[in-house]
Chains A and B, each alone.
Chain A
Amino acid sequence: MLQYVIRRLLYSAVVLVLASFLVFMFVTVSGDPLAALKITPNVSEETVQNIIERKHLDEPVPVRYYEWVKDALTNKFGTTLLTDEPILPDLWRVMKNTLQLVLVAELLAILIAVGIGVYSALRQYSVFDYSMTTFSFLGLATPVFWLALMLQVAVVQIYLATGRNVFPIANLNSVDPGEGLSFVIDRAHHLVLPVIVLMVANIATYSRYMRASMLEVVNSDYVRTARAKGLAESRVTMKHAFRNALIPLVTLVALNFGTLLGGVVVTETVFSLDGMGLYFVNALGTNDPYPVMAWLMITATMIIIFNLVADITYGLLDPRVRYD
């Protein structure tokens, strides 16, 4: 197992190096980052030349790649193109925000979805089961931006009707950080709507998944064996069915989580949340390749890490998985 993890980590490192090269090539060939600056009035030749020298933009591609990697590894993910600001502090801040949002939304979604999935499977074709099936299809069919906008509209309507502002509809905070409990409560209050938006689609997906795998398991031969032993139904469900049914979901969630950490672009944009997704969109808008590349590398790393996490948890839950 340990050997397997080490091997996978080494392998991941190779993948990351390759990814970094591809990312660099991709961003480099997509245009001259200084094109806009060069035609801006009031910008002197000298300023442009300074930037070119600082970023080695006149050197051959392999040298530029080497300089970028060196900068990234030794100097806080490098610096921005024009202002020479380090990238890491910003990236770190948006990562924490996205992590917070995604973690809360995912944990709640998993708990609710597992409950719905298991109960639907045990009461297949009941009213509950049909309602949840309908909900899932609606949840999956609803575009995220539309749901987010509708929630905002609803909050505004409530405000207009009652004069009460039930939930903030934008940003992550309205008080300054560092005020202890009131800051935490304020943050939680701001997260309510984005979390709901993120949860809806995930509950829909995960609960369908859980229902399907639970149905498969409750009709399996080994669950029949458990009943034939004389176990109580609750024990059959929890010990024999549930644990087996959970295995595919755990893998799915772990894989999904890596992707989500790259940011939830639509939700973050609609609610103006200072997260990874919005950061990426803004970076694309500024024509600065360095934050874009930093973001791409972080996201790739997350996906690789959570692929590994998915594999390891799968192995912990299912003894049939062999690491060799």
Chain B
Amino acid sequence: MAQPILEIRDLTVEFDTEDGVVRAVTGVSYDLAPGEVLGIVGESGSGKSVSMLSVLGLIPKPPGRIPSGHATFEGEDLLTMSSSRLRDLRGGRIAMIFQDPMTSLNPVLTIGDQISEAILVHNSGTSDDDARKRTVELLELVGVPFAERRVDQYPHEFSGGMRQRAMIAMAIANDPAVLIADEPTTALDVTIQAQIVEVLKAAQRETHAAIVLITHDLGLVAELADRVVVMYAGRVVELADVFTIFNEPRHPYTIGLMNSLARLDADLDRLEPIPGQPPSLITPPPGCAFHPRCAISQGRAICRTEVPPLKAVGVQEAPHDSACHFADELANLGAARAGTAS
């Protein structure tokens, strides 16, 4: 892999809550290569959003805190740099698109104001007129019709899909090197989702940004991602290129996700893909957090006593990591599944 643009190492994020300390993210490490699309998948609550928000300093502190970890962007650690340096990067070199376009835009400011603001804060020499012109261009780029007129409208005058386009325009305003898209289509109608995917592709063509695509929609991952990180209970449980993940999954949780996709071909949100409940992050199950729901553990003691480390599996040419004590047993199972699916 080329020199990564963003390296996350051993990131842990905790929240103090009334019920105890929530370990939202535990020892997460992965790299993001320039220009690639990295999918982060996992059930809701598995720490996908927090892992990205925390490196940008966007989690509330308190109650949040980051007891350990590094997040190196172009050689600088985002977690230790000054807050003003981090502000320069936010919305500049690293931009973010949020899940819910209905609530992520300020209701009392016009769409144009909110996009221009992103331009002006990172380009102090720009005149208001130029910022406005650029805003209209950006809106046209993301496919907002009558951009010249709609730039002066308020968010409530935009549909959900149009708002998400505006959010994407805002995110790419300063030509970011990294674009974090946190469930960019989840809140939208199915027909609109496909359009937003096209806009995201266009945005990437335009900016050549590396994209971190947070989602629980495996269809979206298959369509956009180059590589995939699978998260469970705040940890990375599997990491591989998208082809490998779909064809040779080596973690029972990933296999569960794949099966539910193949079997039901439907929304993971509503249909429980894997029997059992996601674990508590305050008192997670001992050992492997997945063992109470695991189909292959079969009560073996090590699953209850030892946290499985994330280690290389499979062939050398295609890096593939899994955090399962019995990842080897899954080699054939994955292949068999690959034969029956598709």
In the assembled complex, the Cα of A123 lies from the Cα of B95 at a distance in Å of 28
Q: Which of B96, B108, B121 contacts A231 (CB 8 A)?
A: B121
Give a binary string over B112-153; 1 marks a CB under 8 Å from any A CB, 0 the rest.
001001100110000000000000000000000000000000
Q: Is A219 an interface residue (CB 8 A)?
A: yes
Measured between C-beta atoms, what is the minimum distance from A289 to chain B in Å?
A: 48
Which of A232, A244, A247 has a CB less than 8 Å from the CB of B106?
A: A244
Contact indicator B118/A229 (Cβ below 8 Å): yes
- A229:B91 contact, CB within 8 angstroms: yes
Given A221-B98, A225-B98, A319-B156, are A230 and B107 neighbors across the interface (CB < 8 Å)? no
CA distance A235 to B58 in the complex (A): 16
CB < 8 Å neighbour of B95 from A226, A228, A232 = A228
CB of B88 within 8 A of chain A? yes
- The interface residues of chain B lying within 8 Å CB-to-CB of A318 are 107-108
Task: Report the minimum CB–CB distance from A52 to chain B (whole Å).
Answer: 60
Whether B154 lies near A230 (C-beta < 8 A) is no
| Residues from 225 to 242 in A contacting B, C-beta threshold 8 Å | 225-232, 235, 239-240
Using a CB-CB cutoff of 8 Å, which residues 120-158 of chain A contact chain B? none
For window 45-59 of B, CB contacts with A under 8 Å fall at 56-58
In the assembled complex, B60 has its CB within 8 A of some CB on chain A: yes
Contact in complex: A230, B60 (CB < 8 Å): no
What residues of A have a CB within 8 angstroms of the CB of B92 in the complex? Answer: 230
Contacts of B95 in A (CB 8 A): 228
Contact A232 B104 (CB under 8 A): no
Residues from chain B with Cβ under 8 Å of A219 in the complex: 60
Q: Answer yes or no: B90 CB below 8 A from chain A CBs.
A: yes
**B241 at interface, CB cutoff 8 A:** no
Q: Are A244 and B117 in contact (CB under 8 A)?
A: no
With A222-B107, A224-B104, A318-B108 already in contact, the answer to whether A231 and B87 are too (CB < 8 A) is yes
Closest-by-CB residue of A relative to B113 is: A239
Cβ A228 vs Cβ B90 within 8 A: yes
Tally of contact residues, A, Cβ under 8 A: 23
Residues of A within 8 A of B91 (CB): 228-231
CB within 8 Å of A: which of B77-119? 87-92, 95-96, 98, 100, 103-109, 114, 117-118
Verify if B170 is at the interface (C-beta below 8 Å from A). Answer: yes
A247 to B121, CA, bound (A): 26
Question: Are B103 and A222 interface neighbours, CB within 8 A?
Answer: yes
B interface size (C-beta, 8 A): 30
In-complex Cβ contact of B121 among A224, A230, A319 (8 A): A230
A225 in contact with B106 (CB, 8 Å): yes
Partner of A227, one of B90, B100, B108: B90
Given contacts A221-B98, A221-B100, A319-B156, contact A229 B106 (CB under 8 A): no
Enumerate chain A residues within 8 angstroms of B167, measured Cβ to Cβ: 225
Q: Report which residue of B58, B108, B114 has the largest number of chain A beta carbons within 10 angstroms of its beta carbon.
A: B108
What's the nearest-Cβ distance from chain B to residue A241, in Å? 9
With A229-B117, A230-B118, A231-B117 known as contacts, the answer to whether A319 contacts B90 (CB < 8 A) is: no
CB pair A221–B108 under 8 Å, yes or no, is: no
> Considering the chains assembled together, what is the distance between the CA atoms of A319 and B152 in angstroms?
12
Complex Cα distance, B114 from A225, in Å, reads: 10
In the assembled complex, A54 has its CB within 8 A of some CB on chain B: no
Are B58 and A227 within 8 A (Cβ)?
yes
B106 touches A222 (CB 8 A): yes
Q: Which chain B residue lies CB-closest to A227?
A: B58
CA distance A318 to B155 in the complex (A): 11
List chain A residues, Cβ under 8 A from B107.
Answer: 222, 244, 318-320
For B56, the chain A residues whose CB sits under 8 A away are 228
Q: In the complex, what distance in Å separates the CA atom of A220 from the CA atom of B98?
A: 12
Q: How far is the CA of A229 from the CA of B116 in the complex (A)?
A: 11
**5 shortest interchain CB distances as A-B pairs:** A230-B91, A229-B91, A221-B103, A230-B90, A222-B106
By a beta-carbon cutoff of 8 Å, the part of chain B in contact with chain A is 56-58, 60, 87-92, 95-96, 98, 100, 103-109, 114, 117-118, 121-122, 154, 156, 167, 170
Query: Can you list 23 contacts pairing A with B, beta carbon distance less than 8 Å?
Result: A221-B98, A221-B103, A222-B106, A224-B58, A225-B105, A227-B90, A228-B90, A228-B95, A228-B98, A229-B91, A230-B87, A230-B91, A230-B118, A231-B117, A231-B121, A232-B87, A244-B106, A244-B107, A244-B108, A247-B108, A317-B108, A319-B107, A319-B154
| With A230-B91, A244-B106 already in contact, 17 other A-B pairs whose C-beta atoms are closer than 8 Å | A222-B105, A222-B106, A222-B107, A225-B105, A225-B170, A227-B57, A227-B58, A228-B91, A228-B98, A229-B121, A230-B88, A230-B121, A231-B91, A240-B109, A244-B107, A317-B108, A319-B108
